[in-house]
Amino acid sequence: MRSKNLLDVLALGAAPSGRSLKAAVGEWIGKTISLTDGDFWSAWLAGSNWSGQTVNTRTALQVSAAWACVRLIAETLSTLPMGLYRTRPDGSKEPASSHHLYTLLRSQPNADMSAVDFWQAMLSSLLLWGNAYAEKRLSGGIITSIDFLNPERISCRRLKTGAREWKYDDPITGRVRVIAETAMWHIPAFTLDGQMGVSPIRMGANVFGGAIAADKASAHTFTGGMKSSGLVTTGASVLKPDQREDIRQHVKKVSDTGGVMVLEMGMGFQQLNMNPQDAELLATRGFNVEEVCRWFRVPPFMVGHSEKSTSWGTGIEQQMIGFITFVLRPWCVRIEQSIRRNLLSPVERLTHSAEWSLEGLLRGDSAARAAFYSQMVQNGVMTRDDARRLENLPLMGGNANVLTVQSNLLPIDALGVNAGGAAAQDALRNWLGINDEKDPKP
């Protein structure tokens, strides 16, 4: 790995956006900069912003709203089961548990990560960098492992043949290796060209930089005891410079260590109190929360910002439906289609598909679930075993795995059958107490 001297870097003509050259390179003077020095390059190539703050993925995550939004989406989806399904000839689907991708996607993609860790890292990459990468390990044409790749260490270029060449700065070996296009799994987030995703952190550098600046201003305010400097008034016409400095040092000493302030020549001291609310500092920080949430398309109330009521409905169920529809569902479809395109063969795409299981997020209370199961079972949509399976109860088999309807809870294929006049219709009459014999005359 070739290293660069700081002067070589300066010769490139790039300058860290929003920062003075002295502040940017002061800590790196006299050091040799390697291409793997992520801290330097992330600061040097940070997104342009008006606040003068360094904005990259690490500094953006120090904003509580950004951290909460990324965690909310990444942890919610990563803890839901990812399933691989096979489509039957009749159009219904069944779990493809015998497929080699089933365990990789659902339980353990590689030797070092569980499914939760893997999907959390992939979703975090999409949310922060706008792209997620994983390397497919193949044996005999079959994918045996899916290894997560750090998006900060990946570069891509288009060859003359039209193929894309991927290079990865491997942190384990310390070398840059080329990854074949057939072995790379790339998921772009929101994209403008259909090829590479756009980084929300870089595009929203002004918003994140403003939030960082507001946090720093708030911290300085509380560090100073929420008080600004005071005013010393005197009846003297003009003070000499050394007299002014003596007064400043005396006031500072009393302010830092305590005690009684002693002023001469009719001097007086007036403390200037600065209320953050009066300075609209708190209002600015509250607005920054809403601004950050817009970039991740997360309603502010879901990250603890409950200053304003939500327009997504008052019930938890309505709020969850809105969250799933407008926030989670687009990510689910993007990843599901990427799995179909990149991990399944052309033949397998005809009969297999991957899907996130979102039903768990809509799981209501006991009364709501009981009403739902009752309606589904009594109308012949689900069997009792289907309902028991959703509740993680053991299957009973037999008639418990038979579709029934509400009329007399008969097998659905027995409706309309009249064998010898004693089938479904006769059973219904008997259940209702209807007698076919004519009423006796009075």
pLDDT per position as a tens digit, 169-205: 998 888 999 998 899 999 999 999 989 999 999 888 8
On whether both 142 and 249 belong to a single domain, the answer is no
Question: What pLDDT is recorded for position 407?
Answer: 64
Residue 345's contacts (CB-CB under 8 Å, 6 or more residues apart) are: none
pLDDT in tens, 204-260: 888 888 888 877 777 666 665 545 566 677 766 677 788 778 877 877 777 777 677
More confident residue, 27 or 318: 318
Write down the mean pLDDT value for the chain: 78
C-alpha distance from residue 308 to each of 286, 289, 290, 320 (Å): 10, 12, 10, 18
Whether residue 87 sits in one domain with residue 203: yes
Q: Looking at 316, 338, 363, which one is the last position of a domain?
A: 363
CA-based torsion, 414, 420, 426, 427: positive or negative: negative
Q: What is the pTM of this model?
A: 0.69
**Tens of pLDDT, residues 22-60:** 444 455 555 565 555 555 545 555 556 676 788 888 888
Q: Is the model's pLDDT at 144 over the cut of 90?
A: yes
pLDDT higher at 382 or 418: 382
Query: Distance between CA atoms of 263 and 18, rounded to whole angstroms?
Result: 43
Phi–psi pair at 52, nearest 5 degrees: 80, 10
Domain-located, residue 419: yes
> Do 241 and 92 have their domain in common?
no
Burial (Cβ within 10 Å: 0-12, 13-18, ≥19) of residue 189: buried
Tell me which of 305 and 28 has the higher pLDDT. Answer: 305
Run of H or E including 201: helix 200-203
Tally of domains in the chain: 4
Same domain, 348 and 408: no
Between residues 297 and 407, the one the model is more confident about: 297
3-state secondary structure 290-345: HHHHHHHCCCHHHHCCCCCCCCCCCCHHHHHHHHHHHHHHHHHHHHHHHHHHHCCC
Torsion of CA 190, 193, 196, 200, to 10 degrees: -40
Q: Are 239 and 379 found together in one domain?
A: no
In whole angstroms, what is the distance from residue 382 CA to residue 83 CA? 20
Residues 135 and 180 in one domain: yes
Q: How many CB atoms lie within 10 A of CB 25?
A: 21
Average pLDDT over residues 397-424: 68
Mean pLDDT lowest among 70-74, 234-238, 310-314: 310-314
Please indicate, yes or no, if residue 289 is contained in any of the structural domains: yes
133 and 242 co-located in one domain:
no
Residues 254 and 282 occupy one common structural domain: no
User: pLDDT at residue 298 above 70?
Assistant: yes
Structural domain includes residue 391:
yes
Question: Does residue 438 lie in a domain region?
Answer: no
Note the pLDDT of residue 10: 42
Domain containing residue 132: 50-224+275-363
Does residue 331 surpass a pLDDT of 90?
yes
- Asked if pLDDT for residue 310 goes beyond 70, the answer is no
Question: Are the C-beta atoms of 393 and 416 separated by less than 8 Å?
Answer: no
Q: Is residue 437 part of a domain?
A: no
Residue 197, in any domain of the structure = yes
- 9 pLDDT band (50/70/90 cuts)? very low
CA 148/CA 134 separation, integer angstroms: 4
- Cα four-point dihedral sign 214, 220, 224, 229: negative
Query: What phi and psi values does residue 48 have, to the nearest 5 degrees?
Result: -70, 135
By the 8 A CB rule, do 263 and 251 touch?
no
- pLDDT number for residue 15: 40
**Residue 441 forms part of a structural domain:** no
Domain boundary, last residue among 303, 337, 363: 363
Rounded average pLDDT over 390-404: 84
pLDDT at 169: 92
Domain endpoint, select from 318, 348, 363: 363
175 and 298 in a single domain? The answer is: yes
> Do 65 and 40 share a domain, yes or no?
no
169 with 264, same domain: the answer is no
Does 57 lie in the same domain as 31?
A: no
What average pLDDT score do residues 76-89 get?
92
Q: What share of the chain has pLDDT > 90, as a percent?
A: 31
Which tokens belong to 218?
């708030």
